[in-house]
A and B are shown apart, each in its own frame.
Chain A
Amino acid sequence: MIQLVLSLLLGLALVVSLYFFARRSKPSAEGTAQQLREARQTLDSLQFGLLPNDLVERIFAREDLEYVLSAARPEVQSLFLADRKNIALAWVGRVRSAVLNLMRFHRGHARLHARLSFSTEIRLALNFAGLLTACRLLQITFYLRGPYAAPGMVRTAAAAAGRVCSISEDSLAFLNVKRVDQLENNEARNRA
């Protein structure tokens, strides 16, 4: 009797796993083009929106803090520190979410490409892992100790994010708009 129950449970587990395996969707051409476009946008937003050196240096500039502490009234100082803390948290949150998006995209699409460089993929994986950890640590630091608590880690995270962007761009050379547009045109032609 026990053997029968065990066999039934095993059979059921196999059927369930087969069901989930069969449900895994294959990337359609349409989905791929959309994901490519989104990945490009994420990459652009990281490179041109969040990571430009002058913006990062400005957000975390100590000279602003020193000036405000010396020239402003206490309530203005508090307002300034609260503003900067929110901006720093928003910045690191957006960098982290963009990196996660890139990582998901890369993981989903890298297996479709036969000519991937093993060393590049390993480097990218290590950079992704290091960057996500650094972002999490920065979030905790900003939350507990304010935006000026870890200037070195900010620079390291920004540099690592820059590296991820350039490796990602090199590794996924098909991530260019021309290619995406071509893909979408093919789709449209196929649908017609």
Chain B
Amino acid sequence: MSLPINVTDVELAADDLRRRTLSHMPSPLERVIYLGSTRDYNTGLYYHDGLASRFSDEVACEALANCHREAYRQLLGSSVEDLVLQIDSYVQSTHSALRDFLAAWKSLQPYRVAVPAGTDPLAVEFLCGNVRTALAIWESHQDGRSRQRPDASPQPSPVL
């Protein structure tokens, strides 16, 4: 039988996570994608070795879930214009090739699986629509930039 989780421990763990890890991710989009990736698809539980070793698996899971919901709320409150900036900053932080990134985000839509459990489906659809629009605008900005720099060499496109 698992012991009840201490709320104070969860808050301490969440603060620790914000300070050590999430503070390096300025945009909510980056935080949502990162926190979504710490969740096991089969169980829905979050894992973080460092946090679990300092606290416990259960506390780490709860802290990650809280931070995920918090980042998601911030992302949901972002305007389309802000989302375009967040996508730009996210691509720069991942160092991905633009074409690879666009192909993956358009076909796989990773932001769709990165939402926290129990999120209202209407809010998910709203966010996905906004990200789609922001991605299209960001892409057109990139096209504009690459036209301004005709020497930019094309990257090989990924197989998706």
Contact = CB atoms under 8 A, between A and B. Distances in A.
Interface centre among A71, A86, A91 (most CB of B within 10 A): A71
Nearest to A93: B122
A58 B140 contact: no
A64 B140 CA distance: 17
Nearest to A57: B77
A76 B133 contact: yes
Interface string B53-91: 000000000000000000001001101110010000000
18 contacts: A45-B120, A49-B120, A49-B123, A54-B76, A54-B77, A59-B126, A64-B80, A67-B80, A67-B81, A71-B81, A71-B137, A73-B136, A76-B137, A76-B140, A80-B80, A83-B133, A90-B122, A94-B122
Interface of A: 45, 49-50, 54-55, 58-59, 61, 63-64, 67-68, 71-73, 76, 79-80, 83-84, 86-87, 90-91, 94
How would you classify the secondary structure of chain B's contact residues: helix, strand, loop or mixed?
Answer: helix
A79 B140 contact: no
A55 B123 contact: yes
A58 B76 contact: yes
Contacts of B73: 54
B129 interface: yes
Contact of B120 (A50, A54, A64, A76): A50
Size range of the chain B interface in the assembly? 10 to 19
Interface in B123-143: 123, 125-126, 129-130, 132-133, 136-137, 140
Q: Which 9 A/B pairs are nearest by Cβ-Cβ distance?
A: A83-B129, A49-B120, A76-B136, A67-B81, A64-B80, A80-B133, A72-B137, A87-B126, A54-B77
A190 to B, nearest CB: 29
Contacts of A63: 79, 81
Contacts of A55: 76, 123, 126
B100 to A, nearest CB: 21
Contact of B137 (A54, A58, A68): A68
A87 B129 contact: yes
Contact of B136 (A45, A49, A67, A72): A72
Nearest to A70: B81
Given A79-B132, A84-B129, A72 B123 contact: no
A61 B129 contact: no
Nearest to A94: B122
A45 B79 CA distance: 24
Contacts of B126: 55, 58-59, 87
Interface centre among B80, B81, B84 (most CB of A within 10 A): B80
A91 B77 CA distance: 16
B133 A49 contact: no
